[in-house]
């Protein structure tokens, strides 16, 4: 197991470099591509939550699916503990799938309605830990349910998904993911479909598991306020690209990229009633089949400059150790 | 409050019959002031859509209005009893006086008809004598009002974004210059940036055209910002009804308090929040007392056996706790200045 040299940052579990996904589509007779994810870099560390925030269609789910190896990448590289993951088959790949577990938005759709909680969790345990004895299995089942606060476990084991509330179902999906003994959780909008009053309960549970099990968590959301609440690091995506990333508090309290500012200014904010606020941009996200040249945000950006129309900005160092993909932060820019 | 334009009193709705009946709406009273934006908040399944449908008599089977009254007061001083109006008069009133934007309405545009035509269709149906050229001009104007360039008139729904389709629905609701617009989760399926644009446009139009709005959403944080007054529903009843700023600064009902605490703030200090323990109740088998008691951190013996009525003066709340009692004390938020 110890064949690889230790990576420079030993808390890094999963990292992606230049991750790109173009979906081929046909438009009339011509072949085109939806450029859904473009050269994304992402690092997940143990015991830490990274939020991936963006509007619908910005490519968040595609990033998660690429990281979970559910899609082949068009380009780029994913490393688990420094080791590149390439093939989508074989023993190494199966180990990867055990380590990197996904939680989906819709717990109705992701749990098979004809199976009991016992069956669903047993299956997850058996797939990932062959040769468990029956007493071990029973103990593990109870342990999983306790971990997600479905107690006493006996009350839930023989229930079918439809007999549970939305929040309980999502807890079962989390337990199923934990059954694999993962080190990474990819949670794609895990609370968006739940009743408002129980969302925070599920996020608090995920936070607790992150700390207790030293997990690396990717939290995908369109709700930037929940990213501030739950995530250590916030990464903002726009039209398939990362526009800003850094400490959640810094990103939300002092957004640097013009798009992040738009997102923050648009979010409901009870402390600023009246509706007469300055919204820093208009318009809608672009087509990903023919994205704008240069910075993909430039057609909507109130601060767009000439070079923004032709040159895509790289991730530049922004205030407070943040990375901002915006020419406004180019210190070497000719005036 | 100024003269109300819509008065709902004692409205009750069941889905189904006898023992299996789901009591989706129970004794709901609510009034909408002229020019007011009234927010209707509550989690999914609490009866918000049922209220919108019942008040306009559009309840689909097996929904049944089992009691109550809905009065509409027109600008000319005429009063319509909506639940007892003959069908044809009700149909006429529906777009003319009260327009509704249904939940998910943007997906109910006819996919094979140009959006401009769909706007003029509505107008032609209600104003048959008026020449088509006038309707077309009005359709252009309406699209402009909601922020869609008039050259999108010939577009088919699939050629528009979700946000644009929702704007078309709002334009359609405003087509006959109604006095009341009921909007059921009009922005729930949209991104925050689009939501913000639509809400701003709606508030500006309200000031310009002088209609009243019932804005239904589960997102109480949005309502705090945009509504004049908020009614909070839980399990088919209104549990609190008060000016938006006061609901935010000093919620009286523990459910309102819990709901507000379910939205992490974007600004201010970061602190641990818990949402509300438990889950909303099954409407087919409600407890005898307060429906919120099983989840309420302040519940005491009386709450289990007896149901608190919605009461108070300008601020209404359905809770046995004293208005300045534990709820106000526990949260420690600053009172309104
Ligand atoms: N299998 C697919 N084939 C073609 N296009 C896709 C596919 N999956 C996603 N897309 C497109 O990729 C873009 C990003 O989608 P997605 O990752 O689901 O965004 P998000 O999760 O941020 O809403 C969208 O334009 C979407 O239509
Ligand atoms: N057609 C129907 N048949 C039976 N029950 C229904 C029907 N429509 C709604 N309900 C029930 O009525 C309650 C209120 O629903 P609804 O008014 O849609 O709530 P909301 O709009 O607040 O989400 C829910 O518990 C729902 O299950
Ligand atoms: Mg998605
Ligand atoms: Mg509804």
Q: What is the pTM of this model?
A: 0.91
Q: Measured in whole angstroms, how far is the alpha carbon of residue B48 from the centre of its chain? A: 7
pLDDT for B325 equals 59
pLDDT for A89 equals 77
Q: Chain A partners of B199 at a C-beta cutoff of 8 Å?
A: 275
Which B-chain residues 121-160 have CB contacts (< 8 A) with chain A? none
Query: What distance in Å separates the CA atoms of residue A27 and residue B113, rounded to the nearest whole number?
Result: 22
Q: How many CB pairs under 8 A join A and B?
A: 116
Quote the ligand 4 centre to B48 CA distance (angstroms).
5
Q: Chain B partners of A229 at a C-beta cutoff of 8 Å?
A: 264, 270, 273
Mean pLDDT over each residue of chain B, to the nearest integer: 90
Return the ligand 2 atom nearest residue B47 CA: 17
Asked if B239 and B43 touch (Cβ cutoff 8 Å), the reply is no
- Closest ligand relative to B62 C-alpha: 2
Give the CA angle between residues A218, A224, A227 to the nearest 5°.
40
Element at B278 (helix H, strand E): none
How confident is residue B335, by pLDDT bands cut at 50, 70 and 90?
A: very low
B268 min Cα distance to partner chain A (Å):
9
Look up the ipTM and state it. 0.89
pLDDT for B337 equals 28
Q: Do A267 and B266 touch (CB under 8 A)?
A: yes
Cis amide linkage into residue B140, ω under 30° from 0: no
- B283: pLDDT strictly greater than 60: yes
- B294: pLDDT strictly greater than 50: yes
pLDDT for A8 equals 60
Most confident of B100-109, B132-141, B189-198: B132-141
Return the ligand 1 atom nearest residue A63 CA: 17
Q: Chain A partners of B258 at a C-beta cutoff of 8 Å?
A: 197
- B328: pLDDT strictly greater than 60: no
* Least CB–CB distance from A225: residue in B43, B261, B264: B264
B189 min Cα distance to partner chain A (Å):
10
How confident is residue B331, by pLDDT bands cut at 50, 70 and 90?
A: very low
pLDDT for A159 equals 96
More confident residue, B324 or A43: A43
Instruction: Please name every residue paired with B213 in a beta bridge, in sequence order, or none if there are none.
Output: B37, B181
Query: What distance in Å separates the CA atoms of residue A69 and residue A47, rounded to the nearest whole number?
Result: 22
Mutate to test the pocket of ligand 1, among A25, A40, A62, A288 (most ligand atoms within 8 A of CB): A62
Say yes or no: B283 contacts chain A, CB-CB below 8 A.
no
How confident is residue B216, by pLDDT bands cut at 50, 70 and 90?
A: very high
Asked if A262 and B193 touch (Cβ cutoff 8 Å), the reply is yes
Asked if B169 and B109 touch (Cβ cutoff 8 Å), the reply is yes
Quote the ligand 1 centre to A62 CA distance (angstroms).
6
Q: Chain B partners of A264 at a C-beta cutoff of 8 Å?
A: 266
Longest dimension (CA), chain A: 72
Q: Chain B partners of A228 at a C-beta cutoff of 8 Å?
A: 264, 266, 270
pLDDT for B190 equals 84
Residue A29 CB partners (closer than 8 Å, separation 6+): none
pLDDT for B104 equals 81
Q: Give B103-107's long-range contacts (Cβ < 8 A, gap of 24+).
A: B103/B49, B103/B184, B103/B185, B103/B188, B103/B216, B104/B185, B104/B189, B105/B166, B105/B169, B105/B184, B105/B186, B106/B162, B106/B165, B106/B166, B106/B168, B106/B169, B106/B189, B107/B165
Say yes or no: B200 contacts chain A, CB-CB below 8 A.
yes
Residue matched to tokens 């968590």: A217
- B107: pLDDT strictly greater than 90: no
Say yes or no: B165 contacts chain A, CB-CB below 8 A.
no
pLDDT for B191 equals 86
Q: Best interface-test mutation with A: which of B106, B191, B245, B337 has the largest number of A CBs within 10 A? A: B191
Q: Do A275 and B199 touch (CB under 8 A)?
A: yes
Which B-chain residues 215-234 have CB contacts (< 8 A) with chain A? 218-222, 224-226
pLDDT for A6 equals 52
The four Cα atoms A104, A196, A43, A239 give a dihedral, to 10 degrees, of: 80
How confident is residue B103, by pLDDT bands cut at 50, 70 and 90?
A: confident
Mean per-residue pLDDT pooled into runs of 10, chain A (335 residues): 58 97 85 94 98 95 96 95 84 90 88 95 89 91 96 95 93 96 97 93 97 98 96 98 97 96 91 63 84 96 96 95 96 67
Quote the ligand 3 centre to A63 CA distance (angstroms).
9
Determine the average pLDDT of the residues in B97-126. 91
- B81: pLDDT strictly greater than 70: yes
Say yes or no: B197 contacts chain A, CB-CB below 8 A.
yes
Helix crossing, A258-266 with B192-209: angle to 10°? 50
Q: Chain B partners of A265 at a C-beta cutoff of 8 Å?
A: 196
pLDDT for A88 equals 73
Query: What distance in Å separates the CA atoms of residue B139 and residue B112, rounded to the nearest whole number?
Result: 18
Quote the ligand 1 centre to A57 CA distance (angstroms).
6
Q: Do A229 and B191 touch (CB under 8 A)?
A: no
């Amino acid at each position: 197991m110890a064949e690889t040299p230790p990576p420079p940052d030993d808390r890094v579990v999963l990292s992606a470099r230049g991750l790109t996904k173009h979906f081929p589509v046909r438009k009339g007779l011509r072949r085109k591509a939806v450029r859904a994810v473009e050269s994304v870099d992402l690092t997940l560390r143990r015991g830490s939550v990274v939020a991936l925030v963006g509007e619908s269609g910005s490519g968040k789910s595609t990033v998660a699916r690429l990281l979970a190896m559910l899609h082949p990448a068009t380009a780029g590289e994913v490393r688990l503990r420094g080791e590149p993951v390439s093939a989508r088959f074989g023993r190494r790949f199966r180990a990867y799938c055990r380590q990197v577990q996904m939680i989906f938005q819709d717990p109705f759709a992701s749990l098979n309605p004809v199976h009991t909680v016992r069956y669903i969790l047993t299956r997850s345990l058996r797939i990932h830990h062959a040769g468990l004895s029956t007493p071990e299995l029973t103990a593990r089942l109870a342990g999983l349910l306790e971990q997600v606060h479905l107690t006493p476990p006996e009350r839930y084991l023989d229930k079918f998904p439809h007999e549970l509330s939305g929040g309980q179902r999502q807890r079962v999906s989390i337990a199923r993911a934990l059954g694999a003994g993962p080190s990474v959780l990819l949670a794609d909008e895990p609370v968006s479909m739940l009743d408002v009053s129980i969302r925070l309960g599920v996020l608090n549970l995920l936070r607790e598991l992150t700390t207790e099990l030293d997990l690396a968590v990717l939290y995908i959301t369109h709700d930037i306020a929940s990213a501030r609440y739950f995530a250590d690091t916030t990464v903002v995506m726009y039209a398939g690209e990362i526009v800003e990333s850094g400490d959640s508090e810094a990103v939300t309290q002092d957004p640097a990229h013009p798009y992040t500012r738009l997102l923050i200014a648009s979010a409901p904010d009870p402390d600023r009633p009246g509706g007469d606020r300055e919204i820093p941009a208009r318009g809608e996200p672009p087509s990903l089949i023919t994205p704008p040249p240069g910075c993909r945000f430039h057609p909507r950006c109130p601060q767009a400059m000439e070079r923004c129309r032709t040159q895509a900005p790289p991730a530049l160092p922004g205030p407070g150790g943040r990375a901002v993909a915006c020419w406004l932060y180019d210190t070497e820019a000719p005036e | 409050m100024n003269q109300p334009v819509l008065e709902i009193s004692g409205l009750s709705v069941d889905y189904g019959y006898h023992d299996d009946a789901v009591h989706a709406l129970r004794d709901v009273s609510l009034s909408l002031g002229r020019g007011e934006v009234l927010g209707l908040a509550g989690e999914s399944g609490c009866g918000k859509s049922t209220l919108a449908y019942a008040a306009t008599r559009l309840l689909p089977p097996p929904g049944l209005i089992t009691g109550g009254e809905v009065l509409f007061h027109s600008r000319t001083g005429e009063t319509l009893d909506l639940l007892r109006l003959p069908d044809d008069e009700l149909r006429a009133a529906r777009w003319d006086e009260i327009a509704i934007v249904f939940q998910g309405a943007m997906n109910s545009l006819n996919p094979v008809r140009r959006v401009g035509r769909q706007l003029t269709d509505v107008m032609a149906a209600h104003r048959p004598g008026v020449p088509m050229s006038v309707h077309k001009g009005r359709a252009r104007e309406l699209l402009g009002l909601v922020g869609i360039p008039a050259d999108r008139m010939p577009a088919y729904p699939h050629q528009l974004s979700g946000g644009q389709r929702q704007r078309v629905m709002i334009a359609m609701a405003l087509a006959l210059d109604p006095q009341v617009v009921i909007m059921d989760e009009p922005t729930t399926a949209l991104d925050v940036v689009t939501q913000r644009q639509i809400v701003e446009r709606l508030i500006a139009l309200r000031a310009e055209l002088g209609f009243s709005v019932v804005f239904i959403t589960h997102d109480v944080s949005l309502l705090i910002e945009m509504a004049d007054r908020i009614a909070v529903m839980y399990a088919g009843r209104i549990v609190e009804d008060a000016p938006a700023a006061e609901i935010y600064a000093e919620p009286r009902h523990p459910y309102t308090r819990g709901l507000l605490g379910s939205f992490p703030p974007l600004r201010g200090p970061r602190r641990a929040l818990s949402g509300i323990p438990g889950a909303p109740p099954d409407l087919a088998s409600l407890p005898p007392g307060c429906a919120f008691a099983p989840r309420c951190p302040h519940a005491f013996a009386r709450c289990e056996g007896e149901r608190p009525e919605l009461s108070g003066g300008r601020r209404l709340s359905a809770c046995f706790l004293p208005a300045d009692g534990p709820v106000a004390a526990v949260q420690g938020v600053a009172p309104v200045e």
